């Protein structure tokens, strides 16, 4: 059985859905790593596995905070974010789309349920991802890492999304692929669906209300 936990039947009907983007709607985590690795290499430094584990799911500001504490770059956070965003946008490809999550996104849009995207990525990256996925017109708004003081795993991004859409957090459903995102959405008091890449172990996703592997396991019953 793929459902990790069962949502209580007393839960309020879901009135809005918030999506993470990188890793959830688009298989871009490897590209993000490669972009940062290339950026570091251009400056004479080699990104290692330990660095990547620390960077996964974090905002660009948090990534810079870690990298600049380990490596002595002749650069600042603005240059790092800007150049990495430019490199990422140039390398982005439509075939990186995760077809099943995007299919669920499209079905929710057809049901006229409001949706928004909540990402730790910079605004330029968020916009490029949505354009590549051809989802821009179906998103009520997006929250980027530049819109908040505290990125995921802090609840601020999702609480801001609930405030903008005008719906109580407990009436919002979040779809995430990372444990960082799951912690953020759970702390915001939202129902959380963990939908990571195929083969990802369940360890670390205990805060998710649902852990799914396929669109057939998506909790549509919460919308009735």
Does pTM top 0.85 for this prediction?
yes
Instruction: Please answer whether residues 27 and 177 qualify as being in contact, where contact means their C-beta atoms are separated by less than 8 angstroms.
Output: no
Average pLDDT over residues 191-199: 96
At 63-88, the pLDDT tens digits run 999 999 989 998 999 999 999 999 99
- 6 pLDDT band, cuts 50/70/90, is very low
Average pLDDT over residues 54-68: 87
At 139-166, the pLDDT tens digits run 999 999 999 999 999 999 999 999 999 9
Residue indicated by tokens 């819109």: 147
Phi, psi of 75, rounded to the nearest 5 degrees: -160, 175
Q: Is the pLDDT of residue 34 over 90?
A: yes
Q: Domain 29-91 has what CATH class?
A: mainly alpha
Instruction: Please answer whether residues 184 and 199 qualify as being in contact, where contact means their C-beta atoms are separated by less than 8 angstroms.
Output: no
Domains of the chain, residue spans = 16-27+95-223, 29-91
Distance CA 191, CA 11 (A): 9
- 57 pLDDT band, cuts 50/70/90, is confident
CA angle 195, 196, 202 (to 5 degrees): 95
Specify the CATH number of the domain 16-27+95-223.
Answer: 3.40.50.1000
How many other CB atoms sit within 10 Å of the CB of residue 216? 9
Both tokens assigned to 120: 């730790």
What DSSP character marks residue 26?
B
């Amino acid at each position: 059985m793929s459902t990790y936990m069962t949502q209580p039947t007393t839960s309020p009907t879901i009135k809005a859905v918030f999506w993470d983007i990188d890793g959830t709607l688009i298989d871009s985590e490897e590209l993000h790593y490669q972009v940062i690795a290339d950026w570091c290499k251009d400056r004479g430094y080699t990104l290692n596995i330990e660095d990547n584990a620390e960077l996964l799911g974090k905002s660009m500001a948090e990534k810079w905070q870690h990298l600049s504490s380990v490596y002595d770059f002749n650069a600042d956070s603005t240059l790092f974010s800007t150049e990495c965003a430019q490199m990422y946008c140039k390398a982005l490809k439509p075939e990186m789309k995760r077809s099943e999550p995007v299919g669920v996104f499209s079905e929710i849009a057809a049901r006229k349920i409001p949706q928004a995207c909540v990402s730790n990525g910079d605004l330029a990256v968020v916009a490029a991802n949505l354009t590549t996925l051809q989802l821009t017109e179906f998103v009520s708004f997006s929250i980027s890492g530049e819109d908040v003081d505290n990125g995921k795993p802090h609840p601020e991004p999702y609480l801001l999304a609930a405030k903008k859409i005008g719906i109580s957090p407990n009436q919002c459903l979040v779809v995430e692929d990372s444990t960082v995102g799951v912690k953020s959405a759970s702390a915001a008091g939202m129902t959380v669906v963990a939908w990571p890449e195929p083969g990802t172990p369940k360890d670390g996703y205990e805060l998710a209300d649902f852990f799914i592997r396929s669109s057939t396991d998506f909790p549509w019953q919460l919308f009735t």
